[in-house]
Amino acid sequence: MEFITLKNKDTARLVKDLLMYPLKVNRDESGILVETLRRDWPDIYGPGREFAMQYYSVTPPGLARDEDVWHTHPTVQEDRFLVINGEIVVAVADARDGSETKGVLNLFYMKPDEDPYILLIPKNTLHGFMVVSKLPATLLNFPTAVYNPQEEARVPYAQADVRFPDGTPFSWDLVRSYLQKTNG
């Protein structure tokens, strides 16, 4: 199981249209300041990716936002995830017909204390996240569209048939088990 971070993103096969946008941390004696989204960042913001809304969620340790269904936004919305507290793993799977990366599953380890970044999740891809820190995680999202129930779909894991590279069906329990083995 491979987790993608800013350090190894150039050697990973990323889902088509997915972006990892590094953020600059400004530190001084009064703390830190991090710019989280600017309109002069053309890769992550611009025509079709304008600001629509922002929200945050706080999720307890060990919890996956939906344990057995994928989130997807079928036509318009792209998500821009940013973790500001805690640690999460984000899973993004490409099930788009005609995509050159159809069938690719990416796992992103987002840890704001080391190389914070915004993860742009393309529309019509399957995605979800799980908190892997011992403390709750706070996730900011800057979606490219205002919330619309017609643009919010759930796909059961069994129906999506997303698999790890070894052919094993995706589950958060396998991610948990792997992290427990590797982190002691």
Encode pLDDT of 91-106 as tens digits.
999 999 999 999 999 9
At residue 70, φ and ψ (nearest 5 deg) are -90, 150
Q: How far apart are CA 163 and CA 104, in angstroms?
A: 8
| Residue 113 counted as domain residue | yes
The pLDDT value recorded for residue 184 is 61
Question: What's the domain range around 85?
Answer: 9-183
User: Does residue 1 lie in a domain region?
Assistant: no
Helices (H) and strands (E) in the chain, counts: 2, 12
Domain assignment present for 3: no
Q: Note whether residue 46 is domain-resident.
A: yes
For residue 4, how many C-alpha atoms fall within 13 Å in the half-sphere facing its CB? 20
Using DSSP's 3-state secondary structure scheme, residue 178 falls into helix
Report if pTM > 0.85.
yes
Q: Rounded distance, CA 96 to CA 31, Å?
A: 43
**Tokens standing for residue 48:** 């079709």
CATH code for the domain in which residue 64 is found: 2.60.120.10
Report the distance separating Cα 4 and Cα 153, nearest Å: 25
In a domain, 176, yes or no: yes
Q: Tell whether 2 is covered by a domain.
A: no
Residue 87 β-bridge partners: none
Quick check: is 4 in a domain? no
Work out how many domains the chain is built from and give that number.
Answer: 1
Residue 79: which pLDDT band, with cuts at 50, 70 and 90? Answer: very high
Please say if the pLDDT value at position 63 is more than 70. yes
Q: Is the pLDDT of residue 42 over 90?
A: no
In a domain, 109, yes or no: yes
